[in-house]
Amino acid sequence: MQLIPISTPLVKSNDELLEVITKALEKAKVTLHDGDVLTIASKIVSITQGLLINKDEIIVSEEAKKYAEITKLSPEFMEVAIRESDEVLGACFGALLTRCNDYFMPNAGADQSNAPQGTIIILPTNPTKIARDIQYFLQEKYQCRIGVIIGDSRVQPLRRGTSGLALGVAGFVPVIDDRGRKDLSGREMKMTRRAIADNLMSAAEILSGEVDEKVPLVLIRNAPIILSEEDLTETMSIPPSECMYFSTFLPNKSEK
């Protein structure tokens, strides 16, 4: 498997995303082939969608002030995180733990790093549709079948550092179900599924970085993917009751 970092100029809110991508590919002298996967950092998607919130326009609630005291983050940032989240689960120094779009996320995915001065970036709306639009455009341009991932970084429980999270996927199967297959000892797998899209995004994160790299695009070649035109976004998430982390904090029905 080959990973090719593709840099871009600093992306601005008046840029057109498809133009940014095609110019970057042309400058890198990269031609897409069948089975390629293009990963795209969600931040440049959000910026080109105009999903920037001016801090001086934010009305801060008492709840945001309370969480700002705990996290030591700005009340304005906490207000945005609360608004963007589906559920606030708790807070600690440096982060508000939230559930957002079926994911656990610090600060509901809102971010201040690499945001224009005085603004906060929020997650793109409908990333799978955006990934699909990009996929179709690039397939037409390069006459091939490819996959596209729009992703972000995440943290894992009890692990230091970030890895990749696929928010939107198009063109391939994001989770491969290995249930029913047998291991080397002949034991049948009962639960195992492989998060292909998340793992590919994690690989891309190694090259794209988190700071000033300006590599929001990574082309992955010869990845072990299954091409598909089906929308399989929902297969990447599970309900809280099936999550081994979250379910331990849910009420035990047998005790009622």
SS3 249: helix
Give me the residues of the chain with pLDDT under 70, please: 178-184, 188-192, 209-213, 249-256
Specify whether the CB–CB gap between 226 and 35 falls below 8 A.
no
Q: Record the pTM.
A: 0.89
Task: List the chain domain ranges.
Answer: 1-51+123-247, 52-122
- Which is nearest to 196 in space by CA: 162, 243, 158, 228? 228
Instruction: Provide the Cα torsion 176, 234, 82, 159; round to 10°.
Output: -10
Instruction: Give the 3-state secondary structure of residue 30.
Output: coil
Judge residue 129's burial from the number of C-beta atoms within 10 Å of its C-beta, 0-12 exposed, 13-18 middle, 19 or more buried: middle
Domain spanning 1-51+123-247, CATH architecture: 2-Layer Sandwich (3.30)
Number of H helices, E strands in the chain: 6, 12
| Contact (CB, 8 A) for 48 and 126 | no
3-state secondary structure at position 155: strand
| pLDDT at res. 256 | 47
Strand partners, 199: none
Residue 197 backbone dihedrals phi, psi, to 5 degrees? -65, -45
In this structure, whether the domain defined by 52-122 belongs to CATH 3.90.1660.10 is answered with yes
The number of C-alpha atoms within 13 Å of 242 and in the hemisphere containing its C-beta is 6
Q: What is the CA radius of gyration of the chain?
A: 19
Angstrom distance (rounded) from CA 1 to CA 203: 10
